[in-house]
């Protein structure tokens, strides 16, 4: 029996898709092993969002070649779509599979079927498995936004999804192992159902009716697509967690226009204000790109001050990475690397301050926590409903259960202590 190992780079969507592809391999008779072992087939699920992601892909290829020089190595996903030439420079006979054909990978390897890289057109649902705590479910793929810095529409194609009826079937399949929390993922999930004259809100209303789902989160959603009705649904529901990830990218309207984003800062501020008004303890995360071409010192100061005054919980900070083929690649007034690093450091420090303040606001709050199963230095970890990371003394009885907990003070590891409040287990 042949063995297969996978290494996944990039977003949660890639991880959900990798899980589906590995199930296909197992159904085809393969044995799944760790990527650090000597496998017959290595699969590298690539990402191309940054130069660093590309470098990690090349490093993984070389690691696989070292572990087994005779192995079949398949590089799948976004890098074969957009930078096939770089991959062809590597030694060995790599199998390069784009996003359109990666779900046929076991068949391609077993039957020697060739696969030309083509623009993705169909929607392939995927979900993570093997974890009874949390399942990531792909409900949407591709993007129609074409932001000036982003390669995703070229790598994954235009926005598409299944309809609500089909998606609900996938949800029931993905949660049949009794997972406690479902996370909906996609490239631009706010666009769900657009071509079927449906909407994300319509889908969320139907999901709430499923009795076997205890908790639900949504991944990143664009501020122009996060509607009042979605926010109000979350506030009124016991299943939808008060946790939002809303990408901002810049707190300067001039830079947002250069990025071809579809909103201004006042729209983002209004979304945050609406959430905090009706869900004061909600966690709000965001994405920020620093060092975008044309970002002056004054533009950066605007971004910093805008973020400083907003009641957001933390930020994912990205240093601008040039991507060939995007409109931003040809923009003038590039920001020097040293200056980009300095701005990134300031934003990371601000994010740390925001996170510690958010955790401090939640001290002594009693809330529901979903605990995981792993042991970490004698502790068991979990996330509260509003995504505060907590820990308590390890007890296998509470693994993969939802428990009422009291949040204690934040520790040096940026994890809050948690005190169990009752013995009921969900």
Q: Work out the pLDDT band at 426, boundaries 50, 70, 90.
A: low
Mean pLDDT (whole number) for 276-296: 98
Provide the pLDDT confidence category of residue 422 given band limits of 50, 70 and 90: confident
Q: Is the Cβ–Cβ distance between 100 and 117 less than 8 Å?
A: yes
pLDDT at residue 114, rounded to an integer: 61
For residues 418 and 391, the answer to whether their CB atoms sit within 8 Å is yes
Mean pLDDT of 398-413: 92
Average pLDDT, the chain: 93
**Which residues neighbour 158 within 8 Å (Cβ) at sequence distance 6 or greater?**
142, 143, 144
pLDDT at 121 over 70: yes
State the pLDDT at residue 120. 62
Segment among 26-30, 200-204, 257-261, 408-412 with least mean pLDDT? 408-412
pLDDT band (50, 70, 90) for residue 366: very high
Q: Note the pLDDT tens digit of each residue in 82-111.
A: 999 999 999 888 999 999 899 999 999 998
pTM attached to this predicted model = 0.92
Q: What percent of the chain shows pLDDT beyond 70?
A: 96
- What's the pLDDT score for residue 117? 57
> pLDDT value at position 423?
60
Q: What percent of the chain has pLDDT over 90?
A: 86
Could you tell me how many helices (H) and strands (E) the chain has, helices first? 13, 17
| Triad 248, 252, 256: Cα angle to 5° | 60
Predicted confidence at residue 425, as pLDDT, reads 59
pLDDT higher than 90, residue 205: yes
Q: Which whole number is the average pLDDT over 179-204?
A: 96
How far, rounded to the nearest angstrom, does the alpha carbon of residue 135 sit from its chain's CA centroid? 12
Name the band, by pLDDT with cuts 50, 70 and 90, for residue 58. very high
Tell whether the model's pLDDT for residue 287 goes beyond 90: yes
Q: Which residues contact 346 (CB under 8 A, 6 or more apart)?
A: 304
Contact between 288 and 316 under an 8 Å Cβ cutoff? The reply is yes
Backbone phi, then psi, for 183, in 5-degree steps? -115, 120
| CA 10 – CA 402 distance, rounded (Å) | 29
CA-to-CA dists, residue 77 to 6, 57, 83, 221, angstroms: 13, 11, 11, 22
Q: Is the pLDDT of residue 63 over 60?
A: yes
Instruction: Give the per-residue pLDDT at 122.
Output: 85
When pLDDT is cut at 50, 70 and 90, the band that residue 247 belongs to is very high
Contacts of 225 (CB under 8 A, 6+ apart): 188, 190, 191, 200
pLDDT at 413: 84
What are the pLDDT digits (tens) for 291-310? 999 999 999 999 999 999 99
What was the pLDDT predicted at 374? 86
Query: What domains, with CATH codes, occur in the chain?
Result: 3-111 (3.40.50.12160), 126-361 (3.80.30.20), 366-420 (2.40.50)
Q: Choose the weakest-confidence range: 119-133, 194-208, 377-391.
A: 119-133
What average pLDDT does this structure show over 324-349? 96
pLDDT digits (tens, 9 = 90+) for 136-150: 999 999 999 999 999
Mean per-residue pLDDT for 266-280? 98
């Amino acid at each position: 029996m042949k063995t297969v190992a996978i290494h996944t780079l990039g977003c949660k969507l890639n991880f959900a898709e990798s899980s589906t592809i590995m199930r296909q391999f197992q159904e085809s008779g393969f044995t799944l092993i760790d990527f650090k072992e000597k496998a017959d087939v290595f699969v590298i699920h690539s990402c191309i969002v940054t130069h660093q992601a590309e470098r990690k892909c090349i490093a993984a290829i070389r690691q696989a070649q070292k572990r087994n020089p005779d192995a079949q190595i398949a590089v799948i996903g976004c890098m074969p779509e957009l930078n096939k030439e770089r991959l062809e420079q590597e030694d060995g006979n790599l199998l390069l599979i784009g996003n359109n054909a990666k779900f046929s990978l076991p068949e391609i390897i077993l039957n020697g079927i060739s696969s030309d890289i083509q623009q993705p057109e169909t929607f392939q649902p995927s979900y993570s498995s093997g974890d009874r705590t949390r399942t990531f479910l792909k409900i949407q793929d591709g993007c129609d936004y074409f932001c000036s810095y982003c390669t995703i529409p070229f790598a994954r194609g235009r926005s598409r999804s299944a309809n609500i009826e089909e998606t609900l079937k996938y949800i029931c399949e993905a949660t049949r192992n009794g997972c406690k929390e479902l996370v909906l993922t996609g490239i631009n999930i706010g666009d769900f159902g657009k071509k079927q004259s449906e909407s994300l809100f319509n889908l969320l209303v139907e999901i709430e009716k499923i009795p076997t789902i205890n908790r639900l989160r949504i991944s990143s959603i664009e501020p122009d697509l996060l509607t009042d009705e979605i926010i109000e649904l979350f506030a009124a529901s016991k299943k939808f967690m008060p946790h939002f990830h809303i990408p901002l990218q810049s707190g300067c309207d001039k830079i947002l226009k250069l990025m071809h984003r579809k909103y201004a800062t006042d729209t983002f501020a209004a979304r945050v204000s609406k959430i905090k008004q009706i869900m004061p303890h909600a966690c709000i995360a965001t994405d920020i790109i620093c060092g975008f071409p044309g970002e002056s010192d004054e533009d950066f100061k605007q971004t910093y001050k805008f973020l400083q005054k907003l009641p957001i919980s933390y930020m994912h900070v990205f240093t601008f990475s040039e991507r060939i083929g995007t409109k931003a690649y040809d923009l003038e007034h590039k920001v020097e690397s040293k200056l980009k690093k300095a701005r990134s450091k300031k934003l990371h420090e601000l994010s740390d301050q925001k996170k510690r303040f958010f955790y401090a606001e939640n001290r002594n709050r009693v809330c529901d926590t979903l605990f995981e199963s792993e042991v970490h230095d004698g502790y068991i970890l979990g996330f509260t409903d509003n995504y505060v990371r907590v820990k308590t003394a390890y007890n296998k009885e509470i693994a993969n259960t939802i428990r009422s907990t009291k949040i204690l003070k934040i520790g040096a590891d940026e994890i809050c202590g948690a005190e169990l409040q009752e013995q009921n287990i969900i």
